[in-house]
Amino acid sequence: MKKTTTTRYDVAEHLRTPKEMAAYLEACLEEANGDAAFIAKALGDIARAKGMTQVARDAGLSRESLYKALSGERSPGFDTILKVVNALGLKLHAEAFHG
C-alpha cells in the first residue's frame, strides 16, 4: 500500500490578486468575532502572499516587527493595522448591519 503524503495548507499560496486578498480579509473580518489577533493573522497571510519584505518597507516597519505583529499570537496596535492595510493596497470600510 502506498503512503499518502500531505503538505500543510498555506492560504497565502492561493491569494494571487488584490481582489482575492480583499475577499479573504472581508471573510476574516466577518468570522473574527472581535478577535484582533485573528485579523492580524489574516493580514499576515496576505502580506506573505504579497511579499513580507515589500510590505514591511511600504508600511515603514522592519520585517521582524511585521512578522511579530502579524503572527496571530498578539494583537498589534491599530496604527500598525492601518499601516499594513495601506501597504497591502487594501482599505477598510464600515457598513451598518441589521441584526
The residue extents of the domains of the chain are 16-87
CA distance 99 to 96: 10
- pTM beyond cutoff 0.95: no
Q: What is the mean pLDDT of the chain?
A: 91
What is the reported pLDDT for 52? 95
CA distance 91 to 88: 9
CA distance 58 to 20: 20
Positive or negative, the CA dihedral 83, 84, 86, 87 is positive
What is the reported pLDDT for 99? 64
Q: Which amino acid is at 82?
A: L
**59 pLDDT tier (thresholds 50, 70, 90):** very high
Give how far Cα 71 sits from Cα of 12, 95, 98, 99, Å.
13, 27, 32, 32
Higher pLDDT, 52 or 6: 52
| Cα angle for residues 98, 84, 18 (degrees, 5° grid) | 70
13 pLDDT more than 80 = yes
